[in-house]
Each structure stands twice: as structure tokens, then as C-alpha cells.
Structure 1
Amino acid sequence: MKDSAVTTETTLAIDWSQIDTVLFDMDGTLLDLHFDNFFWLDHLPQRYAEIHRQDEAEVREKLAKKFAAKRGQLDWYCVDYWSRELALNIEALKHEIGDKIAFRPFATEFLLWLKHHDKRCYLATNAHRKSLELKLARTAMHDHFVAMISSHDYGYPKEHDGFWQALVQAHGMDLSRALFVDDSLDVLRAAKRNGVGHLLAIPNPDSRHPSRDTGEFIAIGDFRLLMQNG
């Protein structure tokens, strides 16, 4: 952890009287990022090589370059874009491993706690609507949210100021009284730049990987700690 991120999980305290709205990322925040990492880094290269009859090692190298070129852009998250680009049905391939979709520990308990405390919860994800629908079918997350927003609805990824401007215009929320939880530092920096008052970073988005440095943002790896005060 960098020196600037001095607040640790053992000292984490949230003044819930200053928060009306809670915004959640989906993949890596509420849901285990293992599904997505496994799909893009393992399942997709394997299936691409099988379908297109190419060497898997060469496919992995080619895909890595394609992904890097689109990182942080809306296309990077777009099922339709990658289906066209790779001549594959990405949506169908995701369904093949749908059993790997899972909540992160205590995510549902925290969502229920927030509802009990009359906080308005929104899902704000860069995931394409087709990916979102697959995960909703597996998790029934829709029960917990006022609205579920895909950045594709607005034409900007969450890393872009345009997303936050469109969010406020569409939902009329006061971002200064919102808590936003995400596993992407670039997204959190965009949220801060656009006036989100309270920010938390997920240090362990993929259960199979060790925790990461969350830079200048307070890390919250265990949602139970947020239910201890309020």
C-alpha cells in the first residue's frame, strides 16, 4: 500500500449520515472477477484457437495486442465489438462458463444492509448489456437496485467525464452525497474528478489473485467492515 493510502480496513469508518446514494461497480466489486479473467485470458483464447483452427499460443499473443489497443475505451467492454472483431459469438461463449459467475463474499449481505438503512443503490458498470443480462440471470441482482446503468447506455466508459455527466442528468443524484465502490483506479479517479464525495477501492477483485495496491484510495476488501457503523 502506498503511503498516501494510510487508512486501513481495521480503522475504516464511514459517516453514513453524509451518504444518500451508493453506486456499485459490478465485475470485481460485487461479483468475483475470476469469471471475467478466466473468460478473456483462458476460455476465449482456447475457443478461438479451436474454432479458427489456429495455434493457441499465437492466438493468445494476438488477442493480448488487440485487447491492449482498446483498453479503457468503450469497445474494450463491448460484446458486439469483439464478436465482430474476432468473428465469434462472444455472448454464447460466455454462457459456456456461466457457472463461474459468483458474488464476492458478503456482497449480498451488504446490499440488504443498505436497503434496511434506506440508501438508494445503483449499479454502474462498464459491462455490455449482454454481459449484464447473463449475470443478472445467474444472480438476481436487480432486486437490490433503483437502476442498473451500463456505460454503453451513455456512449462513454466510466473512465470518461461524459459518463458521470450523463449519469447526473439521467438520475438527478447529488454525487457529493454518494459513495462509489469500484476495483478500477482509473474509474475511481474519474469519479473523484467529477465530484463523487466518497470513494472506496476493491483490492482483491479476483478471488484467485492476491490483493493489489489501491493507490490513493481507501481499500475495502471485506464488506462486513462497512456494516459495523451506521
Structure 2
Amino acid sequence: MSGINYSISSLPWGEIQQVFLDMDGTLLDLHFDNYFWLEYVPQQYAKKRNLPLDKAKAEFMEMCRQVEGTLDWYCLDYWTDTLGLDIPRLKKEIAHLIAEHPDVIPFLQALRSSGRKAILVTNAHHNSLHLKLRHTRIGDHLDAVYSAHSLKLPKEDPAFWKVLQQHHPYDPAHTLLIDDSLPVLNAAQQYGMVHLLGVAKPDTKQARKPAADYPLVESFQSLLQSLSNFEHQARVFHH
């Protein structure tokens, strides 16, 4: 358990100098990835191997289980080799499904206007990362982007957060991490990060996540409101 008892509306913005933001399921709707990996890839694999779809899905899910939580799980080169499919090309075929969550851009703008840094920290493979930056506007509103593939560790490993420190010095006590993955939040907390938020609906087409060990972001509108209220009160106080 995280022991964090604040709500989104009472986030301690005064203690937060920068925000680490996950991409898939946090800034971007996870519907693209869920549809791609759970439906589109198994369909293509079934065609290639001449298998019934349910058998193709079962085989693919077993392959996924074997590498879950590792860098290979996120690596498009690994899946291209393993499945014999051109995964980057398949992603481009359904790139029209890539979308930001509502109010992400206004939140990022407000965050940077407040003097805080917005840092993308993702497990996404470079190929996937570049595709998504091309198809959305998030890249225009970030101060830096870090991929786990460059750091050679997945975010689920507490050592990742230490290695990130060497590339991007940060104070864990003054950094907010927003991520839809519970194992990632747990790893960051193990490293010493204090301000941690999950995401209530990573995939807009699926049900809300049940209450978790960390406060959940219901919408970026609520985060934006929380930051705006804090900034307004700070201005009133200083005047």
C-alpha cells in the first residue's frame, strides 16, 4: 500500500517540481494498443499460420505470458522476429486509432506554464514511440522523452528509476509520476518516489479500474483544475 491519502483536488503541487508521465494508457488512450495486441495481431498471426482465431489467440497469449514485464514484451523487433509479422507496418495500418485522452494537451500546457517540467517516461519501443508522436500533439508539449529501451530496463524494475536518475537528475520527493501500471507505480515507490497517481480508465472503451493502492486520475480535466486552483491560491497568497 502506498499510504498516500490525498485526493486529486488536494495534490501537493507546492512540493512537485516536475511530472513524469507514462504514454500508453496515461496520456494516450490504451484502446489502440489493446485492439492492436488483443485483436489485430492475433488475426494476422492466424492468417499467416492458417490457424483458427481462438487457437492463434491462445498461442500468442502464452508467448506474451513468457515475457511479461520484460523489455521484450514491449519490443517490436522481438515480436516481429517471434511472430514472423512486420509489427511496425501493422501498427501503421491502424494508426488512425491512436488518440490522446481528453484534456491532455491543456494539462501539459498548464503544467509547463506553471514552471514545472513535463517528462515522458515510457516502456514503448522507439518505433512505436515515434509513430505515436507523429499521430498526436503530445510531443510539442514535453520537456524530455525517455524510453526504457534506451535505458535497457523496463519501468517495472526499481533499478530503472535509479538509471533514469543518471540521464535525468530528479528528486524523488519532488516528482509526481502518473502511470496506469500498478507494477510500475510499485517499482517507483520502492525507489523512493512519493507522489504517485494511477489512471482510472486507461482504455476509454473499457470499464473503469477498481480502486487501487494509489489515487486514480479520473480525467485530465480534474488534474488541470487541481493545478489551476493551486496556482490561483498561490498568486492570491503572494499578493
TM-score by length of 1: 0.94
2: CA distance between counterparts of 1:225 and 1:31? 16
Q: Identity across aligned pairs (percent)? A: 39
Give the corresponding residue for 1:206.
Answer: 203
Residue identity in the other structure for 1:142 = G
Residue identity in the other structure for 2:113 = H
- Tell me if structure 2 keeps the 8 A contact 1:202–1:214: no
| Residue 124 of structure 2 is aligned to residue 130 of structure 1 | no
- Tell me if structure 1 keeps the 8 A contact 2:18–2:174: yes
Specify which of 30, 46, 51 is matched with residue 49 of structure 1: 46
Structure 1: runs of 5 or more not aligned:
none
2: CA distance between counterparts of 1:20 and 1:6? 20
* Cα-to-partner distance string for 1:91-134 (whole Å, 9 max, x where unaligned): 11111100000001111111011011111110000110100011
Give the corresponding residue for 1:159.
Answer: 156
Give the corresponding residue for 1:64.
Answer: 61
Give the corresponding residue for 2:17.
Answer: 20
Residue identity in the other structure for 2:68 = R
Residue identity in the other structure for 2:11 = I
Root mean square deviation, CA, Å: 1.6
1: CA distance between counterparts of 2:29 and 2:211? 17
* Cα-to-partner distance string for 1:26-76 (whole Å, 9 max, x where unaligned): 000000000000000000111111233222111011001111111111110
- Tell me if structure 1 keeps the 8 A contact 2:18–2:118: yes
SS at match of 1:180: strand
Q: How many residues align?
A: 226
SS at match of 1:121: strand
2: CA distance between counterparts of 1:13 and 1:94? 39
Give the corresponding residue for 1:189.
Answer: 186
Give the corresponding residue for 1:223.
Answer: 220
TM-score by length of 2: 0.90
Residue identity in the other structure for 1:178 = T
- Tell me if structure 2 keeps the 8 A contact 1:20–1:178: yes
Residue identity in the other structure for 2:215 = I
2: CA distance between counterparts of 1:226 and 1:86? 40
1: CA distance between counterparts of 2:150 and 2:219? 30
Residue identity in the other structure for 1:146 = D
- Tell me if structure 2 keeps the 8 A contact 1:200–1:217: yes
Shift of residue 210, structure 1, vs aligned partner: 0.8
2: CA distance between counterparts of 1:78 and 1:206? 21
SS at match of 1:148: strand
Residue identity in the other structure for 2:131 = L
- Tell me if structure 1 keeps the 8 A contact 2:30–2:204: yes
- Tell me if structure 2 keeps the 8 A contact 1:179–1:197: yes
SS at match of 1:123: strand
- Tell me if structure 2 keeps the 8 A contact 1:5–1:215: no
Task: Give the 5 Å matches for 1:72-111.
Answer: 72-111=69-108
Structure 2: runs of 5 or more not aligned:
231-239
1: CA distance between counterparts of 2:72 and 2:25? 19
Specify which of 116, 119, 140 is matched with residue 116 of structure 2: 119
1: CA distance between counterparts of 2:222 and 2:186? 23
1: CA distance between counterparts of 2:222 and 2:43? 39
